[in-house]
Amino acid sequence: YIPPRSSGGRIMSLTDPEEKMSKSASNPKSFIALLDPPEVIKKKIMSAVTDSDSVIRYDEENKPAVSNLMVIYSLS
């Protein structure tokens, strides 16, 4: 998957896809730290908020949580 160029530059929170990812967030599960070990990153990604239906498609407006995970996946 390759996200559109318009989506670059901002990674959203894993717990609230309407807010940008920030190391100053109160919930440590909402961001991926540069020094997080791989197993911690995997756990955070696996517990990330997703959208309520089972359809997986890139749609920032209607499916912000899945779209955010798709952008993160495309960067790895």
Task: Give the residue numbers spanning the domain of 39.
Answer: 5-75
Average of per-residue pLDDT values in the chain:
88
Select from 53, 51, 54 the least CA-distant residue to 16: 51
Choose between 76 and 45: higher pLDDT. Answer: 45
34: domain CATH number is 1.10.240.10
pTM above 0.85, yes or no: no
pLDDT in tens, 9-35: 688 999 999 899 998 998 999 999 999
Number of domains, the chain: 1
